[in-house]
Chain A
Amino acid sequence: MQDELTTGYSAQAAALKGTVPGADDLRAQAMTDFGTHGFPHARAEDWRYSDLKALRANVYAPAEAPEAMPTIPASMGDTAARFVFVNGRYQEDLSDLGDLWQAASIRPLANHFTSNAARLDELVRGEDGVSLLNTALLRDGMVISVPAGVEVDDPVEIVHVMTEAAGRAAHLRHVIELGEGAKLSVFERFIGDDSAYWQNIILQARIAEGANLGHIRLQEEGASALHTAKVYANVDAVGEYRCANMTAGGKMARFEAHVRLLGEEAHATVDGVALTATGQVHDTLTHVNHVVPFATSDQIFRTVADARGKTSFAGKVTVAKDAQKTAADQSFKALVFDRTAEANAKPELEIFADDVKCSHGATVGELDAKAIFYLTSRGIDPVTARRMLVEAFTAGALERVAFDEIRDAMMDRIGTWMATRADRAIPEVREA
């Protein structure tokens, strides 16, 4: 099958030649590497919980424009700009540049390398089949560069929609560049219909000294979707990267955040909630790399899995030999509704410095029957009681979402998700 995959995707890469001027060699190299590596093996340590069967068995054709444009959901609150991508292609008609164009430089990925070939070196090339393919099939994405000292207050919303795309894939790449002291918030949304598509996306960010990037993700892909997403953030001194991710959709979804703290007093928060319904697989992997002294990081993840849902969190923190006075915290808690739900946790600390404060905690538990009884003994019905407990359980991981409308909408998603589980108000084990 690997030969068929290589042949199929090589043809796709060849057809894209010239679509991103300056990137052809890079594309070709990534394709060659893909041929060598293929997709990660099912037993590869970092990929054990991701189900890539569909990727290994099919060549996903490039997604094409749908016959009918889907309706795009309204923004959640004020936005600085709104970019809409349907089936992996930018939709100018559906987008709104707002005031952002006055504050920042905005361009499609296709124009990113023409004026400045040095940018090729900054492009993340990928280290496994999934990301290599994203590079090999590079075509569209948004590049936002905020000049030094410019602060954009409202979030920039990027909406990704997939529709009528069974057996097809989108490989998007967004690039965010913040100059010294610049500030930006990016809110990415992912939605889609029930077709079995593959959304494969990378967002890479460079955060210069004292700059601040907020990154919120709301992943509500269609029920048959495959979603693979990676974030790469490089943070300079006193810079900040703040990520909050909500994973709810897809049949199989994987989110990776790779953060490198490259300057002293750089700070990163990487938070997330996963709501994993029956039959879904959600895999989260974070790697925060403390390269220099005095940088700090903090991660809060909460996952909730219904019967036969499978959720995994692997959180790695690396502290380099010179990175003294690092402070890194990580808290992971999983809630499973019954014994058929699966939650895996793999915190991993790689510490080469000796004067650091690092902590991590991971727990897996069920809803507290005593708490449910206490709530119901005050007249609250069991469905509401369970919803309140799940909201309370997850809320801590969304507290750092800086925009009330978005945070409220995310909390609403949790309430709705619990309401759709009303029939499971009383925990029980059902046979598959």
Chain B
Amino acid sequence: MLNIKDLHVSVGDKEIVKGLNLEIKAGETHAIMGLNGAGKSTLAAAIAGRDDYEVTSGSIEFGGKDMLALEPHERVGEGLFLGFQYPVEIPGVSNLNFLRTALNSVRKYRGEAEMSAAEFMKLVREKAKALNMDPEMLKRFVNVGFSGGEKKRNEMVQMAVLDPKLAILDETDSGLDIDALKTVAEGINTQRRKDTAILLITHYQRLLSYVQPDVVHVMIDGRIVKSGGKELALELEEKGYADVA
């Protein structure tokens, strides 16, 4: 489903991702762990197409398509979703308007009809409820005044509404209390299907005990230096990066 080959990404003059290879197949869940500043979020942003993150060489293929030839919104149309480590606040735009415009944009990209307001409301309420989000928060401006955990939960509601083929979740678990972590993990597990894939970026074994990954990668200084099964995460937590990688 996702195939990244020898990817190099620079921000300004600085190379941050330095020759990264990654393949994720449909039905799989992968996790990337790594030290602060290793380039995990940069990798995620490059896959999503943020324009100040320059891909200097290498390739990103998703669903057989060259992602680098597509604009960010087109990548979403193809089924990509990025859960932000730091979700952005957008004053003046309500969550509902945001979600509805997003969903209908994706449907339009796929040649599907717009969803009616009633159908949409039903869908959003259902997804918000599953993620324990107060429906009142849907009326508020996107992420404005949301707590750290509420912002992460809002990311999950967006994912659930857009129903992506591949969800890249950048530290969705950080800042969550234990109950919220469980709710979010359930949300992620619901999204795991034969035809979907998940890429979790995380620092903590805890999320991985709820959402068990098929493959765990260790990223250091812009490269994946080691990959293994879910036991690798435990090993990292015990011994630290220096001994494992």
Residues of A in contact with B (beta carbons under 8 Å apart): 368-371, 373-382, 384-385, 388-389, 391-393, 395-396, 426
Contacts and interface: CB of A to CB of B under 8 A. Distances in A.
Contacts of B106: 379
A392 B105 contact: no
A379 B90 contact: no
B34 interface: no
5 contacts: A371-B88, A373-B51, A376-B72, A380-B105, A392-B93
Contacts of B72: 373, 376-377
A373 B105 contact: no
A169 to B, nearest CB: 39
Contacts, number: 75
Contacts of A374: 84, 87-88, 90, 142
Most buried by A among B48, B51, B92, B97: B92
Query: 6 closest A-B pairs (Cβ-Cβ)?
Result: A392-B92, A379-B76, A378-B102, A374-B88, A379-B106, A376-B72
A374 B98 CA distance: 10
B162 interface: yes
Given A374-B142, A396-B92, 20 more contacts: A368-B88, A369-B52, A370-B88, A374-B88, A376-B76, A377-B76, A377-B82, A378-B73, A379-B73, A379-B102, A379-B162, A380-B101, A380-B102, A381-B71, A382-B71, A384-B105, A388-B101, A391-B92, A392-B92, A395-B92
B50 interface: yes
A374 to B, nearest CB: 4
Contacts of B97: 388
A201 to B, nearest CB: 32
B90 A377 contact: no
B84 A379 contact: no
A369 B50 CA distance: 10
Interface in B122-139: none
A411 to B, nearest CB: 12
A373 B71 CA distance: 11
A375 B48 CA distance: 12
A388 B88 CA distance: 15
Contacts of A370: 88
- The contact size tier of chain B is 20 to 34
Given A380-B101, A380-B105, A382-B71, A375 B90 contact: yes
A378 B71 contact: no
B91 interface: yes
Contact of B109 (A368, A373, A377, A379): A379
Contacts of A369: 52
A371 B90 contact: yes
A379 B87 contact: no
A373 B84 CA distance: 11
Contacts of B102: 375, 378-380
A426 to B, nearest CB: 8
A396 B92 CA distance: 8
Given A377-B72, A379-B105, A379-B109, A392 B91 contact: yes
B158 interface: yes
A378 B107 CA distance: 12
B71 A376 contact: yes
Contacts of B101: 380, 384, 388
B222 interface: no
A316 B50 CA distance: 42
A160 to B, nearest CB: 31
A245 B141 CA distance: 25
Contacts of A382: 71, 73
B93 A380 contact: no
A259 B162 CA distance: 50
A373 B44 CA distance: 13
Interface in B100-126: 101-103, 105-106, 109
Contact of B50 (A373, A378, A388): A373
B77 interface: yes
